[in-house]
Amino acid sequence: MTKLALLGGNPVRSKLFPAHNFIGMEEKQKVMEILNSGVLSRFLGVWHDDFYGGDEILAFEREWADNYQAKYGVSVNSCTSGLYAAVGAAAVGPGDEVIVSPYTMVASVTAAIAFNAVPVFADIDPKNFCLNPKSIKERITERTKAIIVVHLFGHPADMDEIMAIADAHNITVIEDCAQAPNAKYKGRPVGTLGHMGVFSLNYHKHIHSGEGGIVLTNDERLADRLCLIRNHAEAVVNGREVDSLVNMVGFNFRLGEIEAGIGRMQLLKSHGLLDKRRRNLDYFNKNLPEIKGLSISKPMDYVEHSYYAAALNYNADQAGLSRKTFLQALHAELPETEMRKGHGPLISGGYVKPIYLYPMFQQQIAYGDKGCPFKCPHYKGEINYSVGICPETEKAHATIITHEYMQPSLEISDIDDVLMAFKKVANNMEALRQFEKNTS
């Protein structure tokens, strides 16, 4: 039995894993074409044809909308700004509540705060790590104006149930699809199941343009409000008719022509890259050695997962070993990834801390230092951000392991190395228990 690297043996692999880099000739040619045109953005912040941007922006929006069978696509410069625009378009404001997930990247919560609304955290379903419809139902009040649903790790949330609840209460549903491009729920792509769907084209996502994002919707009025909020609404509402001035303060969330052009080329690759992610993860899951306490988190049978990350459930009591030591042992066996030095191996524990435990919520300080929006006089609800409000989220944070050993840059031989590291750890669990005892 070979000795674990953590205990002084040789690691399974030291050669870096190949970089997740899918910028090729198509993107380069596109960028040259745009540079040669001299038009790097055609947006104009006044009421004019150019209010909606240039050729690449319009083509990017059309192609993304078509890919998701959506009527409208509104490009933005990040998923974060897309979420802000979506909350604004939904006319959320002071005194309103927005139901959010505590298990997400922070922007899917701060989008509510940006419009002085109060985030109310519902709990996740541990089977898919997305908002649990039952918990949403419990947390709806007469103040609930919107729900921001996150398709976490690429697993679609239970949208039929969530939409039924939302429709019954006339609540706007925003899907945060940053981690779920091309994921499907009962055969339908995410992003069009709620009222608005927001995608990311950030460098760290499935496909990217450096920074970028897009909001999809089938609702003409929401599409119009999104376009206004994206581009200095207040400067143009005089030049045209708008039926509501609510949240027409406006921002500059405009995407550039170069990013839009890159985003078009990346979209063409997105399905092939996702196929490879699925092939890789299938192989990983089929060959993962048996380790007591470790199990694969299987997707619900009615979804097509897009695997931004894959989750493993880890029961430290059954394994007889802490998650920390288990991961430490794997980390010692595995190298980092090219172009991501200092990021560590592509496996870690817990994902993010439940968002309500962040200082902003614990101290209730966001805008200025007077407690807005939490203590806003327009707000008539009662805030509770205590430990324990979302027990399933807290449990998942304490027990799951996530990994990205399905990235499309990886070949089967790379995944074999990862599996070898798991095998080595599986064969040395007793030695690790001793190590843990001696070091604690």
Ligand X SMILES: *Cc1c(COP(=O)(O)O)cnc(C)c1O
**Where on the chain is the footprint of ligand X (CB under 6 A)?**
78-80, 104-105, 107-108, 150, 176, 178-179, 200, 202, 213
Shortest reach from residue 199's CB to ligand X, in Å: 8
Q: How many other CB atoms are there within 10 angstroms of residue 301's CB atom?
A: 5
User: Would you say 132 or 428 has its CB closer to ligand X?
Assistant: 132
Shortest reach from residue 205's CB to ligand X, in Å: 6
Shortest reach from residue 168's CB to ligand X, in Å: 26
Q: How many helices and strands, by DSSP H and E, does the chain display?
A: 15, 14
What is the strand order of the sheet 400-403 is part of?
294-296, 310-314, 400-403, 347-349
Classify burial at 335, counting beta carbons within 10 Å of its beta carbon; exposed 0-12, middle 13-18, buried 19 or more.
Answer: middle
User: Would you say 126 or 320 has its CB closer to ligand X?
Assistant: 126
- Check the CA dihedral 281-287-293-296 and report its sign: positive
Shortest reach from residue 181's CB to ligand X, in Å: 11
Pairing state of beta strands 196-200 and 172-176? parallel
Q: How many other CB atoms are there within 10 angstroms of residue 339's CB atom?
A: 12
User: Would you say 120 or 432 has its CB closer to ligand X?
Assistant: 120
| CB distance 351 to 312 below 8 Å | no
User: Would you say 67 or 325 has its CB closer to ligand X?
Assistant: 67
User: Would you say 154 or 299 has its CB closer to ligand X?
Assistant: 154
| CB distance 256 to 212 below 8 Å | no
User: Would you say 75 or 78 has its CB closer to ligand X?
Assistant: 78
Shortest reach from residue 224's CB to ligand X, in Å: 23
Buried-state track 113-129, b at ≥16 Cβ within 10 A, e below 16 = bbbbbbbbbbbbbbebb
User: Would you say 179 or 192 has its CB closer to ligand X?
Assistant: 179
Shortest reach from residue 423's CB to ligand X, in Å: 31
User: Would you say 22 or 84 has its CB closer to ligand X?
Assistant: 84
| CB distance 113 to 139 below 8 Å | no
| Site of tokens 């596109």 | 30
User: Would you say 176 or 417 has its CB closer to ligand X?
Assistant: 176
Shortest reach from residue 148's CB to ligand X, in Å: 9
Shortest reach from residue 106's CB to ligand X, in Å: 8
Shortest reach from residue 345's CB to ligand X, in Å: 20
Q: Report DSSP letters for 328-391, one per residue.
A: HHHHHH---BTT-TTS-SSEEES-SPPGGGSHHHHTT--BTTTTBTTT-TT--S-----TTSSH
| Site of tokens 């309500």 | 356
The enclosing H or E element of 281 equals helix 257-287
- What whole-number distance in Å separates Cα of residue 183 and Cα of residue 186? 10
